[in-house]
Structure 1
Amino acid sequence: MVSAQPDAVAADPARRRSALGHWNSAVTSYYVLAGSSALLLVIGLVMVLSSSSVESLQKGNSAYAVFLDQTKFALIGLPLMLLASRLPVRVLRKLAWPALAAGVVFQMMVFVPGLGCGAGGNQNWVCLPGFSGQPSEALKLALALWLGAVLARKLPLLHRWQHALVPVIPIGGIIPIGTVLLGQDLGTAMVLLLLLFGAMWIAAVPRRYLVTLIVGGVAAVIPLVTLGHNRVGRIRSWLSGSCDVQNECYQTLHGGWGLASGGWGGLGLGESREKWSYLPAAHNDFIFAIIGEELGLIGTLLVLALFALLAFAMVRVIRRHPDPMARITTGAILCWIVGQAMINIAVVIGLLPVIGVPLPLVSAGGSALIMTMAAIGVVLAFARSEPGAAEALAARPSVVRRSLAVLGRARG
């Protein structure tokens, strides 16, 4: 009898549809995207507090200083995400060209004396009294919108190289990525290349043109790597089996120790040893190592599962949305956020040399968090306009009504 029940469910189409009903719902993309993003944000805030508290105290600040800054950035990003999630596709299409122009101008400001600043050899920040921002983060979202608008308009002509590569490569590739490379930020440039490739892939640009893009990107990156002494040192230390553990391999080694010491369940929240000034950038680029140390393999797998759900929701939007701009822009944002997450995690576990990109929604950093939340808001807007999604969302009772109904049942 026990083995016959699943067979009966599998044989009955109606019961099978009922069992899978919530996954086939028109609002699945919307809720999975919102839920996984919210959980990653919460995990990020908790881990930023845990990983930054010791160094904050050592600098004479409050243990909550970095956490409060990150919370402030999250509170700035939240209304932007909500606003973006309510914008119609036609409005986002109209914003594409102005957004890219503003993004490039903002990025060029890093080269203005007195405005531009940097760290670690990168000139990729705009610094003013009481304000500092990373323009390349805004440029990612602007480029995703622009690629969606341009490639969607050119869909019938993309089999011809003139339309497949122009203006995408000169305006969407060389100009924005070139300005980032001028600031020596190779990690962000790699993410922008992923974003560009993702948009062109979803737009079904012929593979021979995509191969051309890949070859051109590699050809441009190789001299930038070989001419930079710091980058060559990172790659050599990554490939070497016996590099100097006090210099080139120090950060990677301590990141690996953090992950390894966590075991299955971790040392416990707040119990990291590496955050005691052993692991550089513990609350930024290497926060995944602190997650593994404090929450163990279970915590790291949870983060990976949430990024997988994020990717699932975006792929679902790509497959279901009727507007090509929505599909192409979502593909670009997918390659940006999930691709950057995979690069960050690969660096921490030693599969890539140290590059210097944060873990989206989790690592400390205001510009990255705000613009990632805004990008998720754009995809939420697309998810709301999937076939049947708007009607399903409108038919659901408001949060207040649902809360009152629950309270009424509890009193009864």
Structure 2
Amino acid sequence: MTELTTTPAAPRAGRPRSSTAAVRPLGFDPWLLVLVGVMITFGLVMVFSASWDVSWRLYGDPNALILRQFGNLVVGLLAMSIAAFFPIRWLRRLALPIILATIFVLFLLLLVTAGTGPRRAFLAGSVQPSELAKLAVIIYLAVWMESKGERLSEWGYGFLPLMTIIGIVGGLILLQPDLSAVLTVAMVALVMFYLAGARLSQSAVVTAGSAIVGYVLVRLTNTGRARWNDYVAGLVNIEEASYHVQQSLQSFFSGGILGRGLGASREKFGLLPAPHTDSIYAVIGEELGLVGALLVLGLFAVFLWRAFRIASQAPDRLGMLLAGGIAFWIGIEALINMSVLLGLLPFAGNALPFFSYGGSNLVTTLAGIGLLFNISRRQPPPLGVEGHVSTIGVGWRHRRRRVSRLGHHRRSRLES
């Protein structure tokens, strides 16, 4: 077996360049550009369909919530545009201020909303710091993991600092409490740790430890324990599942193959909880049927294909980690949301990206998409030029070298 590897040549004296990638001014990934446009449009249509009854009951205007969502979209598109043209190298200096500001905001939320009940948002629910924290953690971890290089595989330089970072951010989110956001942040961090080149033993320890901690947290919190018990009971007998899951499944069953028609959902009229936010996938299933539900699933599958392709072709380690983290974050949010509404996972509060009503989730998601566009504009240098040299290795002995597992930003492999 012959292995072709491409590694950077030794840098010249002086300040090293972060990347030799060529930047295409408007060279966005065309598939992703079209896909995001389709999902945004589809999402707006479904938000209006799912929200007009709630909007009428709350504000006396069936258009109130959809108009707010348009406002959220404008802010999100602005964030996406900035992220798409923002010099990625600046993140190396801004990552620490970003994560420190995130920790401060999470702590401030607990102070200004002190009292009983959930403490998850500012301004009557308009701003959810836990949503912003997800992207902030991805940015910080990408920069931090890149800076550690080969030393990331050392327990003292990789594993322990990672656990400290996730413990601080996750602990503040848990106090809100928002267990689903904590688990999402932990899963994203684990995947990024693996992609960055962590040892298999480290990844196994982190996975096992996260699973144990997650289970303990679920069992210790009243909300988590109730949701777990409802989930287990629902697996045995669907009539024992939570009311939310029962109504969600009823929506899917009511929709059948082709659905009841756009706008014709019955469950959204006071039966299905949060039809325009957490449960919008159930409204899609009822109004557009199995076809519509599979279409949404297919859109996210295409998104993951393009996003991970961008990660695999990123010109440097930072771009790969950013793209990989963002791809997994958006993908796992969607998977959890859809699985919960189908009764396949315990109930969680994850929104459906691009579709669920809400400003924080939409703006943060579009900011992440902007970073993906940014990375897709930066092309890797051709093999053997711009400071890269090729080496040939034979056999399997090169497989355990400490390299990132996506792409050829450091080393592209061709086996024959």
> Structure 2-normalised TM-score?
0.81
Alpha carbons 1:127, 1:133 under 8 Å: kept: yes
Structure in which a larger fraction of residues adopt helix: 1
Q: Secondary structure at the match of 1:364?
A: coil
Look up the match of 1:179: 172
Fraction of identical pairs, as percent? 32
Deviation at 1:222? 2.4
Look up the match of 1:373: 366
Alpha carbons 1:266, 1:297 under 8 Å: kept: yes
Look up the match of 2:289: 296
Look up the match of 1:262: 255
1:39-118 aligned at under 5 Å gives the runs 39-113=38-112, 115=113
Paired letter, 2:277:
N
Alpha carbons 1:29, 1:313 under 8 Å: kept: no
Please tell me whether residue 154 in structure 1 is matched to residue 154 in structure 2: no
Match for 2:380 among 387, 402, 405? 387
- Point out where structure 2 has 5 or more consecutive residues left out of the alignment: 1-23, 383-416
Please tell me whether residue 331 in structure 1 is matched to residue 324 in structure 2: yes
CA, structure 1 residues 368+60, in 2 after alignment: closer, same or farther (shift >3 Å)?
closer
- CA deviation digits over 1:114-139, x for unaligned, max 9? x4689xx53221237xx831111111
- CA deviation digits over 1:333-382, x for unaligned, max 9? 11211011000000011101211111011101111111111111111111
Please tell me whether residue 170 in structure 1 is matched to residue 164 in structure 2: yes
Look up the match of 1:222: 215
CA, structure 1 residues 34+388, in 2 after alignment: closer, same or farther (shift >3 Å)?
farther
* Structure 1 runs, 4 residues or longer, greater than 3 Å off: 26-29, 115-118, 241-245
Look up the match of 2:266: 273
> Structure 1-normalised TM-score?
0.82
Paired letter, 1:47:
M
Deviation at 1:34? 2.0
Deviation at 1:60? 4.5
1:356-367 aligned at under 5 Å gives the runs 356-367=349-360
CA distance in structure 2 between the aligned counterparts of 1:163 and 1:244, rounded to whole angstroms = 47
CA distance in structure 1 between the aligned counterparts of 2:59 and 2:373, rounded to whole angstroms = 41
- Point out where structure 1 has 5 or more consecutive residues left out of the alignment: 1-25, 390-412
CA distance in structure 2 between the aligned counterparts of 1:29 and 1:165, rounded to whole angstroms = 35
- Of 234-243 and 351-360, more deviation after overlay is shown by 234-243
CA distance in structure 2 between the aligned counterparts of 1:103 and 1:79, rounded to whole angstroms = 20
- CA deviation digits over 1:184-243, x for unaligned, max 9? 100111110121012112102111111111222223222321122232222222211577
CA, structure 1 residues 104+321, in 2 after alignment: closer, same or farther (shift >3 Å)?
same
1:297-316 aligned at under 5 Å gives the runs 297-316=290-309
- CA deviation digits over 1:54-90, x for unaligned, max 9? 1222234211111111111011110110110001221
CA distance in structure 2 between the aligned counterparts of 1:292 and 1:29, rounded to whole angstroms = 32
- Of 30-39 and 348-357, more deviation after overlay is shown by 30-39
Look up the match of 1:13: none
CA, structure 1 residues 97+214, in 2 after alignment: closer, same or farther (shift >3 Å)?
same
CA, structure 1 residues 101+65, in 2 after alignment: closer, same or farther (shift >3 Å)?
same
Alpha carbons 1:126, 1:134 under 8 Å: kept: yes
CA distance in structure 2 between the aligned counterparts of 1:353 and 1:61, rounded to whole angstroms = 34
Q: Secondary structure at the match of 1:112?
A: helix
CA distance in structure 2 between the aligned counterparts of 1:166 and 1:88, rounded to whole angstroms = 30
- CA deviation digits over 1:269-328, x for unaligned, max 9? 100010111100111111000001111112111111111111111111121112101111
CA, structure 1 residues 266+193, in 2 after alignment: closer, same or farther (shift >3 Å)?
same
CA, structure 1 residues 301+270, in 2 after alignment: closer, same or farther (shift >3 Å)?
same
CA, structure 1 residues 388+301, in 2 after alignment: closer, same or farther (shift >3 Å)?
farther
Look up the match of 1:400: none
CA distance in structure 1 between the aligned counterparts of 2:247 and 2:162, rounded to whole angstroms = 41
Tell me which of the two structures has the higher relative contact order, counting C-alpha pairs closer than 8 angstroms and 6 or more residues apart. Answer: 2
Look up the match of 1:127: 123
Paired letter, 1:145:
I
Alpha carbons 2:233, 2:241 under 8 Å: kept: no
- Of 187-196 and 52-61, more deviation after overlay is shown by 52-61
Alpha carbons 1:267, 1:293 under 8 Å: kept: yes
